[in-house]
Chain A
Amino acid sequence: MSTATFRPSDAQQWHSARVDNATTARRVARARARSIKTEAKDRLLRLALSMVDLTTLEGADSPGRVRALCRKAVQPFAEMPELPHVAAVCVYPTMVPWAGQALGADSPVKIASVATGFPSGLTPLPIKLEEVQRTVGLGADEIDMVIDRGAFLSGDDQRVFEEIAAIKEACGGATLKVILETGELGTLDHVAAASRLAIAAGADFIKTSTGKIKPAATMEVGLVMLEAIREHFLATGRAVGMKPAGGIRTAKSALHWLVLVAETLGSDWMTPERFRFGASSLVGDLLHQIARRTDGHYASPRRFSVD
């Protein structure tokens, strides 16, 4: 695949977006007000579960913790084996082999890994490329990279673009998710520009946050990113995925996100191929709500594993 090339005229177009904050807030409020009940809720809770990138990105991560995470990824809740598995586990590069060992060779659960000097992204490019290649070599199916926010905010679009393009190439067959870290971008205009930039540079998914910065995945930011995906799809026919990450802890907020996706991009995006939740504790609440619908009474949160 040929590498995307940076054109200053494109950059001008990326930055031409003027996001109307009030309208964005209103559309988000409308999605939040939507009431989803009974069978629709059952289906969406299960769909949300199948879209989770079950994540552990802690300094204290250990092979044992990753193994436990992988078991939960394959079978989120032993009492209900009919529930879907999650989309992927998301771990640091050195944990990828342990995840591979725990999941087995033909597991339907993908292995995603953060690379490129996560979470700051302030590592020289050759080291980022090496990190990506090695991580893919260790067995990662998906790479979650971070953009250099400092470069983006100081107007160096070209550097950000070329890094993404180079990393996309280094990924080979692996899926590339580009983390914008919207909590550091400041305005929705910046989010729109960064989304367009990342998509143009070859991102397969765009992702809101590392989870290390607050605010993380707000729905306002999400709507702007979904609109950028829509714009690109209408212009080129290429479907880019979306991954909100960080701060999504309740089933209710997951349903609100799905409403937003369905209304902005349509049902073609209601699949783990194109939409993911970067989360860990969300799974517990999804299971809680599914169990509530199945058993008919409200379970103790202590019935579900914490992460």
Chain B
Amino acid sequence: MSARLTIDKTLKLYVGGKFIRSESGRTMPIEDEDHRAVNVARGSRKDLREAIRIARAATGPWAGRTAYNRGQILYRLAEMLEGRLPSLSPGAEAAIDRVVHHAGWSDKIAAVLSALNPVSTTYVNYARMRPLGVVCAAPDPADGLLGLVEAAAANAVMGNATVLLIDARSATAAAELAEALATSDFPGGVINVLTGELAELLHHAADHDDVDGLYLAHGATASLQGELEAAGARVLRRMLVVPGAARPATPIQLQKLAEVQTVWVSAYEPQGGAPGY
């Protein structure tokens, strides 16, 4: 009997809920864990623009869901990853547990971060969290799948749409996440995965004014931070630099993935009027 030819998979981009090749047609060869050559789609500037456009369209509906529902959808992602566990890279259990960790935060984080501020007027002053919008995230390749889900889940919890910018060396983990996302209940466009040359993708992201935040793992992006900060200053872009994914984002870090909105409500009560809040 002749040996069977294995069917190799080209690892594609995941944008708007669809697996697509780069519009540029470019691919990068990498070696997977078994030292086999794998072709990875190399995202271009146009791919990034398209992903940002789609992510922008996804922000409103995603942020408009209840926090409870977003938590359920995150938990469903954990279920999908668990089902694929035998085919995932070693150490994927930690990544699955991390998704569950953030799923649990979803309907609780608002209570932790929101505030009733003490003001000395006849107003009531609230501070509440609003999503940033579109965040481009560059996790550390050394963190593998865990780094990807930490970046994606932390942003999803805060109501942001994310474009994950992944170095081709981590493309296997990127594909693992994308394939789980595609079968989870995540609406298309909320989490997008672009693989390619990380410095190139980050450079284009910095040049794009419709990116509200950058989530950067120190290990992956330390050498680029000067450039990214200078470009971000033009549009007052939020930058969150995390040390890595060994520990989940703290509530204080999560707060940096949101805008604080203060709301003033008149506390004046006419005589005989119904008490308000």
In B51-70, which residues have CB < 8 Å from any A CB?
53, 56
Q: Which residues of B contact A302 (CB under 8 A)?
A: 210
Residues 231-244 of B, flagged 1 when their CB comes within 8 A of A and 0 if not, give 10011000000000
Docked-complex contact A301 and B210, CB < 8 angstroms: yes
- The residues of A that contact B53 with a CB separation of less than 8 Å are 301
Is the beta-carbon distance between A297 and B207 smaller than 8 angstroms?
Answer: yes
A292 → chain B closest CB, angstroms: 10
CA distance A302 to B56 in the complex (A): 11
A213 in contact (CB, < 8 A): no
Report if B209 contacts A (CB, 8 A).
yes
Considering only residues 255-307 of chain A, those with a C-beta below 8 Å from chain B are: 297-303
With the chains together, A74 CA to B209 CA distance in Å? 27
**Chain A positions within 8 Å of B56 at CB level:** 301
Q: How far is the CA of A287 from the CA of B20 in the complex (A)?
A: 29
By a CB distance below 8 angstroms, the chain A residues around B235 are: 300
CB neighbours of B49 from chain A (8 A): 298
Shortest distance in angstroms between A251's beta carbon and chain B's nearest beta carbon? Answer: 13
When distances are taken between beta carbons in the complex, the residues of chain B under 8 Å from A301 are 53, 56, 210
Q: Compute how far the CA of A302 lies from the CA of B133 in the bound complex, rounded to whole angstroms.
A: 12
Q: CB within 8 Å of A: which of B214-256?
A: 231, 234-235
Q: Name the distance in Å between A246's Cβ and chain B's nearest Cβ.
A: 21
A132 vs B56: C-alpha distance when bound (angstroms): 43
What sequence of 0s and 1s flags, for each residue 1-37 of chain B, a beta carbon within 8 Å of any chain A beta carbon? 0000000000000000000000000000000000000
A residues near B209, Cβ cutoff 8 Å: 297-300, 303
Instruction: Mark each residue of chain B from 194 to 223: 1 if its CB lies under 8 Å from any CB of chain A, else 0.
Output: 000000000000011110000000000000
CA of A301 to CA of B53, assembled, Å: 9
Which chain B residue lies CB-closest to A297?
A: B207
CB within 8 Å of B: which of A180-217?
A: none
> Closest CB of chain A to B132's CB: distance in Å?
13
List the A side residues contacting B207 at CB < 8 Å: 297-298
Are B210 and A297 neighbours in the complex by a CB distance under 8 Å?
no
Which chain B residues border A300 with CB–CB below 8 Å?
208-210, 235
Identity of the chain A residue whose Cβ is nearest the Cβ of B207 in the assembled complex: A297
Q: How far is the CA of A301 from the CA of B49 in the complex (A)?
A: 11
> Considering the chains assembled together, what is the distance between the CA atoms of A300 and B53 in angstroms?
10
Chain B contacts for A303, CB-based, 8 A = 209
Q: Which residues of A contact B234 (CB under 8 A)?
A: 297
Q: How far is the CA of A60 from the CA of B208 in the complex (A)?
A: 35
Whole-angstrom distance between the Cβ of A250 and the nearest chain B Cβ: 11
Q: Would you give the shortest CB distance from A161 to chain B, in whole angstroms?
A: 45
Bound complex: CA A300 to CA B205 (Å): 12
* Docked pose: A301 CA to B210 CA in angstroms: 7
| Docked complex Cα distance between A303 and B53 (Å) | 14
Chain A positions within 8 Å of B208 at CB level: 297-298, 300
What separation, in Å, do the CA atoms of A299 and B208 have in the docked complex? 6
**Residue on B nearest A303 in the bound complex, by CB:** B209
CB distance from A80 to the nearest CB of B (A): 16
**Cβ contacts under 8 Å, A297 to chain B:** 207-209, 231, 234
A299 to B209, CA, bound (A): 5
Q: How far is the CB of A297 from chain B (nearest CB, A)?
A: 5
- Give the docked Cα–Cα distance between A299 and B231 (Å): 12
Contact flags A155-188 to B (C-beta < 8 A → 1, else 0): 0000000000000000000000000000000000
Q: Name which residue of chain A comes closest to B56, CB basis.
A: A301
Contacts of A298 in B (CB 8 A): 49, 207-210
Assembly CA distance A297 to B231 (angstroms): 10
User: In the bound complex, how far is the Cα of B235 from the Cα of A301, in angstroms?
Assistant: 13
Interface residues of A in 28-52 (CB under 8 A from B): none
Q: How far apart are the CA atoms of A302 and B52 in the complex, in Å? A: 13
**For residue A299, which residues in chain B have a CB less than 8 angstroms away from its CB?**
209-210
Residue of B with least CB distance to A291: B209
Residue of A nearest to B49 (CB): A298
Closest A-chain residue to B208, C-beta based?
A: A298
Which residue from chain A places its CB closest to the CB of B45 in the assembled complex?
A298
**A-B residue pairs, 4 tightest by C-beta:** A300-B210, A300-B209, A298-B208, A297-B207
A interface residues, Cβ below 8 angstroms from B: 297-303
B contact set with A: CB distance below 8 Å? 49, 53, 56, 207-210, 231, 234-235
A-B contact pairs, 20 of them (CB 8 A): A297-B207, A297-B208, A297-B209, A297-B231, A297-B234, A298-B49, A298-B207, A298-B208, A298-B209, A298-B210, A299-B210, A300-B208, A300-B209, A300-B210, A300-B235, A301-B53, A301-B56, A301-B210, A302-B210, A303-B209
* Other A-B pairs beyond A297-B208, A300-B235, A301-B56, 8, CB < 8 Å: A297-B231, A299-B209, A299-B210, A300-B208, A300-B209, A300-B210, A302-B210, A303-B209
